[in-house]
Structure 1
């Protein structure tokens, strides 16, 4: 079952089409089955030459749980084919994805392996760099109607990750990093009009806390690999996720932490 569902989802992603939720057709399909599909999906993508380079954590923002009827975080893989480094002003492609939405996030680069049981301060000392990025999420399920198991099977809803300038951290900057990223504030604009605002604290109390959550989840997962040095992790949207259309310009203003905002045109 895992292989056939993974192939169906990958075909939909490649074609920009949609399918009915897996849970509508397989009532017993649960989170464990979803992560088995995620592992099969990664295998299919690797077989055609794509390389996993990190993870995305989804639904870390508790403020949006009721909007999607998903009441817990989840994760998916990020690939070299879906990762894009961008300047503070750029054009990004999203129209090829089914029902794309934009999410302003904090991205962390791992300078060391992170082990289960590490506290937030120890995790912070394992971070090599911090960046602000936009994740474009998608849904191969029409109308964004799904369960948490469907989301997991759909690669955590990951479509593409656009990462702004990476700020390399000095040793002394890692002291208090967890609190600093929790205090970060973001304003989100569409075509110059303010649409929403958020904070680092919205993502499971902070990006470092969200990373700690992922480490613990992976520790109990026998199908998917633990986090390792060199990977990046994008920690979830700090605002609501918003539909995007070609020609729109989306921008952010960051305060409370030294990172540049981003301004992107959707193409």
Structure 2
């Protein structure tokens, strides 16, 4: 039986000190998905105890190809807290991260609670605004290697996020071309259609999965709907920017010594 509290404390310490730890699977025995989500919640509780607040959720494995590769039939999700927020155009402190990577995403802001099994129309009706966004992921495990339960326990590798200008909820997000640059060199190109074929499907999944854990998505929260491309390493980068067509631009700089 997994020691939920002890593993959560270990993961929280790894994130707080930017020091990698061995993956849980193999070190602590087998870890069920239910235990992994319990560890995720307990680790986030450490952040909340230090004064952070819940500000949303993020979705992972929203690429059909990635799900097939991982042998999955469903997405995973994690929690977003106020200490993960980076302002558009702001600076990211490199010393906070172990081996950071970045991926282009679409984000939505909610205006109404959302939980459980909802239709696409109901999910859309709860959206207040949409935006292009960047998520910085940073596995707390050595060599960025992990099994499914490991990454779920580690809050789906979430560590920071940057949201671009908020646009009206009716703005089209279905098939938006995206070009992400690292140090002004094109690192990844893709389309928001890679997010489950329709990003709103990811919002429907977020309501269902979070609801199953007893969490209601709240008005004002941000939901990061998943990566539109593969993630790009930014351990030695200085700038990251995303051009998302009619969704606008979003980016950040990176300060501090190289990892």
User: TM-score under structure 1 normalisation?
Assistant: 0.87
Aligned residues of 1:57 and 1:214 also touching (Cα < 8 A): yes
- Cα offset, 1:85, TM superposition: 2.7
Please say if 1:215 is aligned against 2:217.
no
Cα distance in 2 between the residues matched to 1:90 and 1:21: 32
- Structure 2 counterpart of 1:229: 219
Aligned residues of 1:95 and 1:246 also touching (Cα < 8 A): no
Equivalences for residues 156-235 of structure 1 within 5 A = 156-169=156-169, 173=170, 180-221=172-213, 224-235=214-225
- Structure 1 counterpart of 2:247: 259
Name the CA shift for 1:163/1:93 in 2 (closer, same or farther; >3 Å): farther
Cα distance in 1 between the residues matched to 2:234 and 2:111: 33
- Cα offset, 1:215, TM superposition: 1.2
Output one character per residue of 1:7-55: Cα deviation in whole Å (capped at 9) or x when no partner.
0000011110011111112332121110010121122221121111111
- Cα offset, 1:138, TM superposition: 0.4
Cα distance in 2 between the residues matched to 1:212 and 1:120: 6
- Structure 1 counterpart of 2:12: 10
How many pairs were matched up? 252
Segments of structure 2 that go 5 or more residues without pairing to the other structure are none
Name the CA shift for 1:90/1:84 in 2 (closer, same or farther; >3 Å): closer
Name the CA shift for 1:127/1:234 in 2 (closer, same or farther; >3 Å): same
- Structure 2 counterpart of 1:243: 233
Give the 3-state SS of the residue equivalent to 2:248 in structure 1. Answer: coil
User: TM-score under structure 2 normalisation?
Assistant: 0.90
Equivalences for residues 13-28 of structure 1 within 5 A = 13-28=15-30
Give the 3-state SS of the residue equivalent to 1:5 in structure 2. Answer: helix
- Cα offset, 1:90, TM superposition: 4.0
Output one character per residue of 1:49-81: Cα deviation in whole Å (capped at 9) or x when no partner.
1111111111212344577x4744211111111
- Structure 2 counterpart of 1:76: 78
Equivalences for residues 42-191 of structure 1 within 5 A = 42-65=44-67, 69=70, 71=72, 72-86=74-88, 89-169=89-169, 173=170, 180-191=172-183
Cα distance in 1 between the residues matched to 2:25 and 2:237: 35
- Cα offset, 1:192, TM superposition: 2.8
Deviates further, 201-210 or 240-249: 240-249
Aligned residues of 1:63 and 1:202 also touching (Cα < 8 A): no
Deviates further, 41-50 or 8-17: 41-50
Cα distance in 1 between the residues matched to 2:56 and 2:215: 11
